Structure 1
């Protein structure tokens, strides 16, 4: 990990520690920078806003790479579903713990909870680009990405408010399994769209 990446990770770690201790609104950028041993200018080199510390997701590129590697004969929705499952399965345990803390913070803060949809839009665009780059139509790619990300987000926010004993990876797998039950073959979808048998 290079110096910039190390600094960015330290800023996120210190920010999350302060958010847990003082609350999101009770923590300033100056406090985060001081805790990480850097200046506010350095903070803003890595994050445009305090909110961005919470929403920055180092796994988006992993998701895009995994998506592009899925079996191209599968329907787009299934490719997204299995790709997201593979991406979640590749996240190491320490990162899962950090993700859990971020989700709980987001779920408990009205403005951050609203911002999760903008964050999803960026992830969706990466998935759409990966799919269309392998020949999937743009609308099909957007619908598949939107359906899976929407389902995962609903499951994440529900888990944050009522964990019911499931750990985070279990909840993700359960949500993705539910989405798998809704998938039909491409021929059926095409026939429905144009009225042909």
Structure 2
């Protein structure tokens, strides 16, 4: 059984500082959104709270919407999938990653994820922004599936499979938010993603 070898190089001091700044901006933005609401919070307020200039804010996030929409989950999932055995079915590989560090990250980020996902579903501007982000997620998933299967990511079957997986993710996250995040999100994925492998039972 073979695996893709992946080992991320340690970040240098400059990259670590950039990552810390990005996380601080996002953390302060979420705090302000929770306290004052998304619409009432300005970029200047976020920048002041994060102790950066507005121009620095825009170097990390092109728009206020991007603070909510952008995340590191897609790259983390892709990296985790590339470390799984290459002969493992795609859905089993995804479920395996959710039982590991990615599932722990989702649990650790629960409050922030709940806030930003609720905003994404409720705010019209964010909903529109999220359409493009979902398409990007589908392309990223198609790339990983194509790598694992030796097929072209533009192959219609690969694109449909990727779209179906992302659609299930989106539906389960919406359900999770509607339930105020009471359930374990990774467990929801583990219970319902296998539906895709079984096919429609009705």
TM-score (norm 1): 0.79
The corresponding residue for 1:32 is: 46
Structure 2 unpaired stretches of 5+: 1-14
Deviation at 1:83, TM superposition (A): 6.2
The corresponding residue for 2:190 is: 173
Q: Look up the SS of the partner of 1:169 in the other structure.
A: helix
Deviation at 1:126, TM superposition (A): 1.9
The alignment of Structure 1 onto Structure 2 pairs a total of residues equal to 182
The corresponding residue for 1:4 is: 18
For 1:26 and 1:95, locate their aligned partners in 2 and report how far apart those are by CA, in whole Å: 24
1:64 aligns with 2:98: no
The corresponding residue for 2:7 is: none
Q: Look up the SS of the partner of 2:31 in the other structure.
A: helix
Please say if residues 71 and 79 of structure 1, whose CA atoms lie closer than 8 Å, have aligned partners that are also in contact. no
Alignment of 1:62-141 (within 5 A): 62-74=76-88, 76=90, 78=91, 81-82=94-95, 85=98, 88-91=102-105, 93-134=107-148, 135-138=150-153, 139=155, 140-141=157-158
For 2:111 and 2:197, locate their aligned partners in 1 and report how far apart those are by CA, in whole Å: 26
Q: Look up the SS of the partner of 2:41 in the other structure.
A: coil
Change (3 A) 1:149 1:103: same
Deviation at 1:168, TM superposition (A): 2.6
For 2:163 and 2:106, locate their aligned partners in 1 and report how far apart those are by CA, in whole Å: 25
TM-score (norm 2): 0.77
Q: Look up the SS of the partner of 1:172 in the other structure.
A: helix
Structure 1 unpaired stretches of 5+: 184-197
Q: Look up the SS of the partner of 2:109 in the other structure.
A: helix
